[in-house]
């Protein structure tokens, strides 16, 4: 999740300090590199590199940069490893234009090949440069700038926001599709950014462009036009009253709640990326030919691997062994070889247990691939190739959007291995939005009812078993209550003795598992348990359970993915009700780099 900021003034001034300050206000979004460009007297000054804002600014003396227009960008790598050449902003072939983007252009590889075939100078692997060349293509064919942008918009697939300027122009141009963008109006300047925090200290008068709109920024005014027909659009300014802290959290009280609500958007971006990725089919072929196939992870990533193994069996008829990374070393590593394939899963790409397992697997010659959120991390560099999760920065320690995108990736790969059309997966983001809207009030009420309990269980079966494990982990992480996730059919083999009057037990029911879940519900209900069922609408479940938390109808695999959302919300509300900060639970770290 990159951050961009553009600034236009009517006179030459010291833009470096303005760009540095704007970049620093966007660092909470996460990044691996930073850059700045200024335009002055027909010349472009571009300085960028891998590193933090303060170190790159000091190394390249960004504070001294002057001009009438400026752009800064914080990059979170997806296309192209973190490097100086892949850092943004980017120039066009001749160095007459400079631009930067936030988001993912999923047909980046295809467009780069086209641009090189057309004789353009392509310097990086980054899709931010692709946005610049997409405009350049039509400028070189004689189109006016607005029309060039309109045509480039049609070529760029994915979700992004983009800002671009020319050396011999007094304006900046910005346009968006799917990613955030906001325009600020100040005294003698205008600005544009991917997010409000970089704008608010400068002005609180803003315009919020919509998808398919182009904004032209002069120093004293802005103009909004439609990509579709180029006609001008009247968009009235508004005044922002929220505090900086509230704005960084998107108006939510905690980052965890914000990130729960971001899951639909990052899932949409991931599906677009996978559709356009040249790495997916080679990975599928390797997995098809593998003697044994392993999904290896820890904690939340292991739960996603378990869900993936169920998907592969149910959809593609392919057995997969999901295994905790340390146990892989003891249980499987001595027996694996070059005929075996492993996918190593880590949100940070730095999880020590996973890297240890990777080292053990590679020592035996196993073919190793990765799935991580941080491009350029140790895992992405150490494996044959690594699919990115496209979640941007996840600030809250409890994983939410990184977990769902791991599950979405495994579901996507299972579809591809089964030869099923992945077009069906495009509905998942909308179903996620519907789920949160449907369950939010009921979950908050249930959280209040059961919050006094410090022991509970979360039970599932089949595809919902790993979801039950993940829901239980979330409750443990941020409520500090003991919640055990279990296979529902195992509950009678011992834990049933813990049930007393009012004892809360959450069941996660797949559409094909209702009779089995009903048996489990009654097994504990007759002993006094409070039964909470997360499932699609079903008269049998409603008749047997105490609470039915209804999620939208889908299929057995998507059902499991949607079912985790109410469990995330349940853990969030119980944590807040107990007076804890769900973003930073005690004793836990976002990246576990120790054994």
Q: How far is CA 15 from CA 9, 164, 169, 358, in A?
A: 9, 16, 17, 46
CA 237, CA 183: separation in Å to the nearest integer?
Answer: 9
Alpha-carbon distance 379 to 398, whole Å?
A: 21
Q: What tokens does 479 get? A: 């409520």
- Does the annotation mark 2 as catalytic? yes
d(CA 470, CA 464): 10
233 beta partners = 224
Two tokens at 376?
Answer: 């350029």
Q: In angstroms, rounded to a whole number, what is the distance separating the alpha carbons of residues 126 and 104?
A: 10
Say how far apart CA 180 and CA 195 lie, in whole Å: 7
Say how far apart CA 520 and CA 470 lie, in whole Å.
19
Do 462 and 310 contact (CB within 8 A), yes or no?
yes
Answer yes or no: 228 catalytic: no
Specify burial of residue 330 (Cβ count, 10 A radius: 0-12, 13-18, 19+): exposed
The residue assigned the tokens 């990086």 is: 124
Distance CA 37, CA 165 (A): 10
Residue 335, judged by CB atoms within 10 A of its CB (0-12, 13-18, 19+), counts as exposed
Distance CA 289, CA 313 (A): 15
What gap in Å lies between CA 575 and CA 490, rounded to an integer? Answer: 28
Encoded tokens for 576:
């807040």
Sign of the torsion formed by the C-alpha atoms of 408, 410, 411 and 413: positive
- HEC per residue, 206-266: EECCCCCEEEEECCCCEEEEECCCCCEECCCCEECCCCHHHHHCCCCCCHHHHHHHCHHHH
- The answer for 178, left when phi > 0, alpha when psi is -120 to 50, beta otherwise, is left
Sheet holding 293-297, edge to edge: 321-324, 293-297, 341-346, 367-372, 386-388
Catalytic residue among 52, 352, 476, 590: 590
**Which residues have CB under 8 Å from 298's CB, separation 6+?**
324, 325, 326, 346, 351, 353, 354, 592
Q: Cis bond leading into 89, ω under 30°?
A: yes
Q: Which of 2, 131, 298, 390 is catalytic?
A: 2
137: left (phi over 0), alpha (psi -120 to 50) or beta: alpha
Q: How far is CA 266 from CA 183, 202, 260, 262, 279, in A?
A: 23, 29, 10, 6, 19
- Residues serving a catalytic function are 2, 590
């Amino acid at each position: 999740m990159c951050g961009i900021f553009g600034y236009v003034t009517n006179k030459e001034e010291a833009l470096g300090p303005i760009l540095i300050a704007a970049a620093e206000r966007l660092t909470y979004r996460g990044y691996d590199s930073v850059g700045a460009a200024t335009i002055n007297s027909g010349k472009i000054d571009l300085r960028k590199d891998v590193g933090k804002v303060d170190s790159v600014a000091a190394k390249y003396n960004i504070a001294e940069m002057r001009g009438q227009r400026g752009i800064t960008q914080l990059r979170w790598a997806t296309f192209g490893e973190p490097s100086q050449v892949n850092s943004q902003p980017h120039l066009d072939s001749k160095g007459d234009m400079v631009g930067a983007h936030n988001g993912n252009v999923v047909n980046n590889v295809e467009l780069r090949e086209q641009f090189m075939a057309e004789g353009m100078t392509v310097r990086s692997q980054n899709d931010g440069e692709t946005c610049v060349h997409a405009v350049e293509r039509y400028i070189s064919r004689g189109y006016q700038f607005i029309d060039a942008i309109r045509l480039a918009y049609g070529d760029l697939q994915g979700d992004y926001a983009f800002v671009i300027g020319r050396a011999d122009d007094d304006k900046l141009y910005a346009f968006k599709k799917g990613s955030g963008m906001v325009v600020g109006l100040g005294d003698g300047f205008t600005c544009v950014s991917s997010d409000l925090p970089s704008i608010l200290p400068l002005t609180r008068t803003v315009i919020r462009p919509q998808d398919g709109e182009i904004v032209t920024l002069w120093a004293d005014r802005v103009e909004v036009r439609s990509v579709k027909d180029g006609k001008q659009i009247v968009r009235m300014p508004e005044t922002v009253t929220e505090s900086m802290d509230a704005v960084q959290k998107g108006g939510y009280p905690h980052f965890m709640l914000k990130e729960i609500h971001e899951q639909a958007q990052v899932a949409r971006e991931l599906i677009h990326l996978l559709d356009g990725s040249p790495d997916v089919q080679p990975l599928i072929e390797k997995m098809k030919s593998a003697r044994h196939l392993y999904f290896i992870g820890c904690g939340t990533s292991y739960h996603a691997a378990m869900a993936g193994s169920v998907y592969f069996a149910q959809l593609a008829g392919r057995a997969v062994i999901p295994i905790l990374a340390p146990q892989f070393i003891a249980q499987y590593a001595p027996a694996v070889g070059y005929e075996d394939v492993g996918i190593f899963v880590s949100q940070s790409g730095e999880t020590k247990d996973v890297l240890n397992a990777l080292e053990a697997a590679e020592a035996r010659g196993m073919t190793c691939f990765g799935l991580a959120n941080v491009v350029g991390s140790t895992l992405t560099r150490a494996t044959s190739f690594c699919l990115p999760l496209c979640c941007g920065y996840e600030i809250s320690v409890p994983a939410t959007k990184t977990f769902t995108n791991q599950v979405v990736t495994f579901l996507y790969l299972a579809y591809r291995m089964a030869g099923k059309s992945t077009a069906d997966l495009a509905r998942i983001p909308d179903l996620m939005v519907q789920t949160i809207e449907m369950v939010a009030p009921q979950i908050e009420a249930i959280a209040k009812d059961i919050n006094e309990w410090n022991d509970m269980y979360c039970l599932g079966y089949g595809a919902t078993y790993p979801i039950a494990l993940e829901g239980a982990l979330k409750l443990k992480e941020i409520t500090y209550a003991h919640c055990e996730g279990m296979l529902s059919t195992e509950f009678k083999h011992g834990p049933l003795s813990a049930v007393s009057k009012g004892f809360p037990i959450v069941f996660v029911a797949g559409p094909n598992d209702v009779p089995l879940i009903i048996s489990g519900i009654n097994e504990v209900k007759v002993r006094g348990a409070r039964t909470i069922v997360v499932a699609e609408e079903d008269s049998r479940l409603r008749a047997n359970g105490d609470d039915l938390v209804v999620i939208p109808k889908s299929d057995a695999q998507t059902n499991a993915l949607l079912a985790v959302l109410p469990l995330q919300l349940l853990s969030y509300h119980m944590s807040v009700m107990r007076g804890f900060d769900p973003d930073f639970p005690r004793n836990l770290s976002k990246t576990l780099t120790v054994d």
